[in-house]
Structure 1
Amino acid sequence: MSREVLLSCLGLEAGYGASQVLFGLDFDIRAGEVVTLLGRNGMGKSTTIKTVIGGLRARRGEIRFDGQAIHGLSADAIARLGVAIVPEGRQCFPNLSVREHLVAFADNRSGTREPWTLERLYALFPRLKERAGNLGNQLSGGEQQMLAIARALSTNPRLLILDEATEGLAPVVREEIWRCLARLKEAGQTTLVVDKYVERLVKLADRHIILERGRVAWAGSSAELDAERTLWHRYLGV
């Protein structure tokens, strides 16, 4: 049985001022899938995410979430529909404690019967339980990344977007993030991932979308991407 499409972008165009960045993107993400958005720096990955979550208005095209057009909605309205992002740079609040981060945004936007409660989030990231009373600016980079992921999960999103989730992390912390993402996949969490570690992503994701100068240059499964290593060099510089 095929999965239902949760997010779809059709003919998506966007940019900044006189500069156009996206040129007619077409892609979709089905419920329960882990999909990656790949490409060198400056190819349109961040702009795609900003447009999907309402941080940047699309110039042309459609964005649909569970069949509903969302390209005219505010970022807050899109978030309430069940789209959560782990932003590049983490963006933890310096004056909120770990626990306050996880309680302040708690919701069940997916309507799941087994929501991510505070206790379950602490079980996923035991370090956060140890640091529950620490403020956001008192955490290490790795701890802030765990907190950013847990904060997004506290809303129980239908779609989780991770923008450079392992960027700048120590290898041991990066491995912990990969383990977390594998657990989320097993739980059926629909996820869009932007990251540069292709070797790990082909083991984790179902499908991949490669962007080149604001267009979809290639799209396919992990097996196909793994078999076509020339794509890694051509589009990703790996």
Structure 2
Amino acid sequence: MKHEPLLTCRGLEAGYGASQVLFGLDFDVGAGEVVALLGRNGMGKSTTIKTLVGGLRAKKGEIHFGGTPIHGARADAIARLGVAIVPEGRQCFPNLTVREHLVAFADTRNGRRDGWTLDRLYALFPRLKERAGHTGNQLSGGEQQMLAIARALSTNPRLLVLDEATEGLAPVIRDEIWHCLARLKADGQTTLVVDKYVEKLVQLADRHLILERGRIAWSGTSVELDADRELWSRYLGV
């Protein structure tokens, strides 16, 4: 099925000081699509994410979101357009309660009438309702990850970006996160996800982009990636 582009990157180059990490990335993320960004450590995945959400300024190239140019825009301006990130390491506030996290960042401007209310977030993650009065530093790693996802959803984003959302979690919690992401896909949530669990991603994502030394080495559908396991060993070490 053809997806109308929501996020478009053309000739994207980025890096840190004199060190260049990304070399001319071209890709789209369509509305309602789930796209996985894959690659070994150090290949440029996190740099790509940082550049998209305004944490790092692109050296060259263009990024458009919903038709609006966002290359060079500040992170807060990009967030207000409807981009929400679940950052690597969760970054929950230690002194805010679960409920305060979800209320403080709530934004209905980008949402639909059936958008993410507090009740809907608690229904998605019942454990957060049980821990509503607990502060961020009182939560387990899995609970913090649920909170980071719920906090991003509370902004009713047009694009949800997940950077290593299942990293370091127990298998049972990882499965709960994957189940959550499948529900979001069924709801039509546009998502860009970075994760190392390729077996899960081929079940979830519509398309995949494999980065190799800051360039897109391969792109294709889940069916194509699942059928070519040699790609897994060549580029992903799986």
SS of the equivalent of 1:116 reads coil
Which one-letter code corresponds to 2:132 in the other structure? Answer: A
- Tell me, yes or no, if the aligned pair for 1:109 and 1:157 is still in contact at 8 Å: no
Residue 210 of structure 1: aligned partner: 210
Which stretches of structure 1, 4 residues or more, deviate above 6 A after TM superposition? none
Name the CA distance, whole Å, in 2 between partners of 1:43 and 1:138.
34
Name the CA distance, whole Å, in 2 between partners of 1:18 and 1:24.
16
Name the CA distance, whole Å, in 1 between partners of 2:113 and 2:30.
20
Residue 135 of structure 2: aligned partner: 135
Residue 3 of structure 1: aligned partner: 3
Residue 189 of structure 1: aligned partner: 189
Q: CA RMSD in A?
A: 0.7
CA drift of 1:109 comes to: 3.8
Residue 50 of structure 1: aligned partner: 50
CA drift of 1:111 comes to: 3.2
Q: Relative to structure 2, which stretch is displaced further, 12-21 or 101-110?
A: 101-110
SS of the equivalent of 1:225 reads helix
The aligned runs of 1:55-134 (5 Å cut-off) are 55-134=55-134
SS of the equivalent of 2:10 reads strand
CA drift of 1:207 comes to: 0.2
TM (normalized to structure 2)?
Answer: 0.99
Name the CA distance, whole Å, in 2 between partners of 1:111 and 1:235.
37
- Tell me, yes or no, if the aligned pair for 1:81 and 1:109 is still in contact at 8 Å: no
Which one-letter code corresponds to 1:15 in the other structure? Answer: G
Which one-letter code corresponds to 1:45 in the other structure? Answer: K
Give the fraction of aligned pairs with identical amino acids, expressed as a percent: 82
CA drift of 1:108 comes to: 1.9
Name the CA distance, whole Å, in 2 between partners of 1:111 and 1:182.
19
Q: CA offsets, 1:154-209, max 9 Å, x none?
A: 00000000000000000000000000000000000000000000000000000000
- Tell me, yes or no, if the aligned pair for 1:35 and 1:192 is still in contact at 8 Å: yes
Which one-letter code corresponds to 2:3 in the other structure? Answer: R
